[in-house]
Amino acid sequence: MSRLVVISNRVAVPSARGAAGAQGGLAGALDAALKKKGGLWFGWSGEESADPAAQPSTQVRDNVTFATIDLSPQDVEEYYYGYANETLWPLFHYRLDLARYELATGRGYERVNELFADAVAPLIEADDLVWVHDYHLIPLGENLRRRGVKNRMAFFLHIPWPPTRLLVSLPFHQRLVRTLLEYDVVGFQSGEWLESFFHYCQRELGAKVDAARGTVTLEGRTTVARAYPIGIDFDHLTSQAQTGEARQMAQRVFASTRHRTAMIGVDRLDYSKGLPERMDGVARFFDRYPDRVKDLVFIQIAPPSREAIGSYQQIRTLLEQKTGQINGALSQVDMVPIRYVNQGHSLAELTGVYFASKIGLVTPLRDGMNLVAKEYVAAQDPDDPGVLILSRFAGAAQQLTEALLVNPHSPDDIASAIRDALDMPRDERIARWKPMVECVRRQNIQQWTADILEDLGGRAGS
């Protein structure tokens, strides 16, 4: 059986500072995949050091070797904060207004990708399947090829792929995208992002695209490009939902909201998540239906993220202003309409909050997939499930079509959906929830891994 080599910016090894608190979909997903096949997970330790060692430090746990390197402060500044999160992240989330194009950070991005290649290439064995993750590491495959790595390699993009008209604003965009075609398999979260990728390859690179087969051919080399919608670890989540931690949390929510319906939002504090726009929607609901202020309590969990970046500081200030305004205007001595929580929570605790919240409000302005939507569905009570309100601009909206789909830019749309969710009869809630939970159960993280590894040439579990 081939080993699996996973390469990502962050590695969820217990000693890697920053990994635990910042686990997006990526960390949880990879943990499951690696434990099953065995192999190596390589990436940044999350640590800065003035003179980082070139050799990775390693530790072995459950069949998996974790190998990490530290980065210098300049590398973190230019590669992680700079190019990855102030250039690619906003651009790929359609936020050209926030994207910064600086030569220095571009060079830092290339330098760290070379550094990663130098450090990981000697650890790759002949039969290994190599799987690179996310926008931090797009050129890594090409760097590995230049170092003689001939293994089958896949790349998965966890975030959206932008429309060609936006992507061409990126200096050296062709150079970046061409490196993707050095992988054997390139995966996207949804058909929409895949379509944009095909469009770019055809129009800007003159590549031959066979959309039906899912291939892109350029200069005699063919890459498989497909949509592989990521899922959650359904069994793990449902087992977490049975824990005392989960039950206790559900109890806390029930006890403190008693005669009101709890509505839950859980997001990293990121401008792509549409949090100020969501608050506008909630405020519009309270404006339009003043007699229903007493019926609803909105709990927004929003752990801060990438706090060194100005646009993240600004979005936090804006969100705090809006939340403060709504609460100031509508609170009573014994009632606060919005609970705004910056603290992160364990998955077990979250399942308890999801269970106790009869509305899940997930309204990103743009999102590769959004696993909170899937977690919310999976954690519901089958006899009395809650209602999912979901942005049509999240990748998850292409699968969870029975949710109340909204335009997250429209406060009126969000307000109407909240009213519909509050008034929805149990029969309709069950009828909408059933196909969604079936989809979340079936298209789970194990299936996702198996699909990609099958296309990469090594069946999961074989």
Catalytic residues: 158, 367
What binding mask, one character per residue, do residues 90-129 give for ligand F6P by CB under 6 A, x or -?
A: ----------------------------------------
Evaluate whether 274 touches 391 at the Cβ level (below 8 Å): yes
Nearer to ligand F6P, 10 or 432 (CB): 10
For residue 160, the minimal CB distance to ligand F6P (Å) is 11
Of positions 110, 134, 280, 349, contacts ligand F6P by CB under 6 A: 134
Name the residue whose CB lies closest to ligand F6P.
24
Sign of CA dihedral 177, 153, 441, 269: negative
DSSP class per residue in 43-95: EEEEEE-SS--SSPEEEEETTEEEEEEEE-HHHIIIIIIIIIIIIIHHHHTT-
Can you read off the two tokens belonging to residue 394? 């999240």
For residue 243, the minimal CB distance to ligand F6P (Å) is 23
C-alpha to C-alpha distance for 452 and 155, rounded to whole angstroms: 10
Of positions 10, 37, 178, 366, contacts ligand F6P by CB under 6 A: 10
Nearer to ligand F6P, 237 or 253 (CB): 237
- Cα–Cα separations (whole angstroms), residue 329 to 166, 247, 325: 40, 33, 6
| Beta strands in 113-230, from DSSP E residues, in sequence order | 129-133, 153-156, 185-188, 208-210, 215-218, 221-227
How many C-beta atoms surround the C-beta of residue 48 within 10 A?
Answer: 17
Task: Determine phi and psi for 345, rounding to 5 degrees.
Answer: -135, 155
Question: Tokens 């003043």, residue?
Answer: 290
Task: Determine phi and psi for 336, rounding to 5 degrees.
Answer: -125, 125
For residue 302, the minimal CB distance to ligand F6P (Å) is 13
Evaluate whether 369 touches 384 at the Cβ level (below 8 Å): no
C-alpha to C-alpha distance for 364 and 278, rounded to whole angstroms: 9
Nearer to ligand F6P, 178 or 268 (CB): 268
C-alpha to C-alpha distance for 185 and 201, rounded to whole angstroms: 15
Q: Who contacts 290 (Cβ-Cβ below 8 Å, separation ≥6)?
A: none
Which of 451, 427, 268, 296 shows the shortest CA–CA distance to 359?
296
For residue 203, the minimal CB distance to ligand F6P (Å) is 27
Nearer to ligand F6P, 79 or 234 (CB): 79
Question: Tokens 């969000």, residue?
Answer: 414
Task: Determine phi and psi for 220, rounding to 5 degrees.
Answer: 80, -5
Beta bridge partners of 367: 394
Residues written for the chain: 462
C-alpha to C-alpha distance for 459 and 34, rounded to whole angstroms: 13
Number of residues that bind ligand F6P (CB under 6 A): 12
For residue 270, the minimal CB distance to ligand F6P (Å) is 8
Nearer to ligand F6P, 87 or 380 (CB): 87
For residue 64, the minimal CB distance to ligand F6P (Å) is 18
Nearer to ligand F6P, 31 or 134 (CB): 134
Nearer to ligand F6P, 11 or 414 (CB): 11
C-alpha to C-alpha distance for 127 and 327, rounded to whole angstroms: 59
For residue 377, the minimal CB distance to ligand F6P (Å) is 19
Nearer to ligand F6P, 23 or 239 (CB): 23
Nearer to ligand F6P, 110 or 270 (CB): 270
Task: Determine phi and psi for 176, rounding to 5 degrees.
Answer: -65, -50
What binding mask, one character per residue, do residues 277-316 give for ligand F6P by CB under 6 A, x or -?
A: ----------------------------xx----------
Identify residues 156-215 at the interface with ligand F6P (CB under 6 A): 158-159
What binding mask, one character per residue, do residues 12-51 give for ligand F6P by CB under 6 A, x or -?
A: ----------xxxxxx------------------------
What binding mask, one character per residue, do residues 140-159 give for ligand F6P by CB under 6 A, x or -?
A: ------------------xx
Helix, strand, or coil (residue 360): strand
Report which DSSP code applies to 162. P
Question: Tokens 């500044």, residue?
Answer: 77
For residue 399, the minimal CB distance to ligand F6P (Å) is 17
Can you read off the two tokens belonging to residue 377? 């569905």
For residue 114, the minimal CB distance to ligand F6P (Å) is 21
> Could you list the residues that contact ligand F6P (CB under 6 A)?
10, 22-27, 134, 158-159, 305-306
